[in-house]
Structures are given as structure tokens and as C-alpha cells.
Amino acid sequence: MLARTYRTLIPTTPIVAIMSDPLETGLVQSLARPGGYLTGVSEDAGIEIWGKRVQLLKEAVPSMARLAYVGVELTRMGATRQAVESAARRLGLAVVGVSVEEPSPAEYRCLSAALVEQTPDAMVVITFGFDAGIVELAAKQRLPVIYSSRAYVDMGGLMAYGSDRAEIARQSANDVHQILSGIKPGEIPISQPTKFELVINLRTAKALGLTLPQSLLARADEVIE
């Protein structure tokens, strides 16, 4: 969302962005030649990764029967919503989506009320743009949540499956170097991650009363204790 905002406000300034799938969100028409003044790294490596996240959450919460997915401006995320819903239904889960306009106190209150009404057993966060408020909300409602970025796990979220941050940082720095060398941003391909990490916060699992299976913990790249 920030990439879209900055591109509107400063349309001729080169932007190296870390973004969700730029094709699905309509930021660019081509990863190979994004055009304009935008390039960067997509944190998604294809829409199918959402099925993997739903599967991991189901492994963490085997009793889960109802899944909520939440995001900022979900109307822009049609393909992602469809991927999450399809994955949930393949696992026999009821599924509901809840959207917020922005990560503000008022919107968090609305989200909290909606989740109380929908009574999900767990939740997946499908867009970037949230702050620590989403982690605090999940803790208050005792909801197990999977995120696409480990930053939320560092803040106390339960688990995340997403791209390796070191790889993204290296690629972003390389993009900046190319721009400073005179290459137009629109001619620099938007890269996708090749390495992914599963991070689990065991302290949060214990606070939620979850006993995570050893098979899941063994696959984690990092377990925060």
C-alpha cells in the first residue's frame, strides 16, 4: 500500500519497494520490466504460498474449524483472498474475511468487534501495513495467527512463514546500486524471494495454551523461546 501511495505522491522519484505480489495488486504489468519509476522485491513468490500458510496454521491448531483472514483494503486482494479461501475449504474449514481501511485505533476496534461476532478459531493476516496493534488484538482475543513476515513474531505473534529478510535486504541494496549507476528503475526486474523461513514464537504458543506438534517445531527455521 505504501508503494502505491508514494508512487502517486512522488511519481517521478525512483522507488525501491518491498511489496506484496505487485502483479496481483496491479502495481505493475510485468515483473521483468515494471516500467515507470518503481522496482524492488516482491515478498510473495506466487499466490500458492497462501495455501502453505493456511496448512501450517492448521498443523499448529489441529482443532481449527473456522478461519478468519484479515487485511487492509481487502477489495484490492482478490486473488489472495481466493487462494486463502480455496486452501481453507480444501482443509474442511469455514472461512470469513474481515477488512480494515487502515491500521488505526478505531479500525482495530471495528476489527475486534467483527472477530468476536465471527468467532474464528485462528486467523491469517494477508496484507502488509499492520502495526503491533494486530498482535495485541490477537493476544487479547487469544487467537493463533500466522503472518507473512517474521517482524510480527518478534512483536509477539505466534508464527510466520515468509521470505528471508537478509535476501530481501541484499536484493534491495542491489536495486539501489543499479539506480545510482544510472539504470532506470522501470528497467530493473522486480525480484521474488527464493528462500523462506518458518519462525515460531513458543512463548506465545504457551500463552495461548497451544502444544505445538514436534513435527512442526522441527521444521521451523527459528523457535523463539
- With a cut of 60, say whether residue 6 has pLDDT above it: no
Do 37 and 54 reside in the same domain of the chain? no
**pLDDT level of residue 53 (50, 70, 90 thresholds):** very high
Other beta carbons less than 10 A from residue 130's beta carbon: 22
Q: For 55-86, what is each residue's pLDDT tens digit?
A: 999 999 999 999 999 999 888 778 889 999 99
- What CATH number is given to the structural domain containing 25? 3.40.50.2300
Confidence check: pLDDT of 115 > 70: yes
Number of domains into which the chain is organized = 2
The pTM (predicted TM-score) of the whole model is: 0.81
Are 123 and 179 in a shared domain? no
Q: Categorize the per-residue pLDDT at 10 as very low, low, confident or very high, splitting at 50, 70 and 90.
A: low
Residues 170, 110 share a domain: no
User: What are the b/e assignments for 78-100, b being 16+ CB within 10 Å?
Assistant: eebbebbbebbeeeebebbbbbb
- Same domain (yes/no): 119, 209: yes
Backbone angles phi, psi at 164, to 5 degrees: -70, 125
